[in-house]
Amino acid sequence: MHEILERAAARHAAQVASDMELAALADINQREQDNLLDYKLLRDLDRNFQDLIMLAAHNRYLLRSAEQLSGTMSVLPSLLDQEERARLAVEEHHAIVEALLRRDRDAAEDAARAHIHASQKHRMLMRLRSP
């Protein structure tokens, strides 16, 4: 469900987001890049990034569904306190921002899909390694 919502939001945002919303996403991503080792700040920026894409999609159904899913997702531990995953997540966010700035719906959706898949893969590998 998370993947479906994120992909749809990125696709819609590429089409309808305002220039100001896209600039704010780029700013958040730059702050992520500048603060890779501040894991608490990264978690906050990540949440802001996800929330802003949902808002920038200007679709109340997506927004309502994301808000409902957010409570469930909040029980999962963050992966951003691991340096390698944090770095990759920020790079993945950059790919999403670049696609959005080009107003390329397909690329934005693909970048969102890649980001969610990478996160899911990392989470599964983490579980396999833990006792």
Contact 79, 119 (CB under 8 A): yes
Please tell me the predicted confidence (pLDDT) of residue 9.
97
Rounded Cα distance between 117 and 2, Å, is 10
89 pLDDT above the threshold of 80: yes
Across 8-28, average pLDDT: 98
Please tell me the predicted confidence (pLDDT) of residue 130.
60
Across 81-97, average pLDDT: 93
Q: Could you list the residue range(s) of the whole structural domain that residue 110 is in?
A: 2-129
Q: How many domains does the chain have?
A: 1
CATH number reported for the structural domain that contains residue 49 in this entry: 1.20.120.530
- What global pTM score does this model have? 0.90
Please tell me the predicted confidence (pLDDT) of residue 76.
59
Q: What are phi and psi of 39, to 5 degrees?
A: -65, -35
- Distance from chain centroid for Cα 93: 6
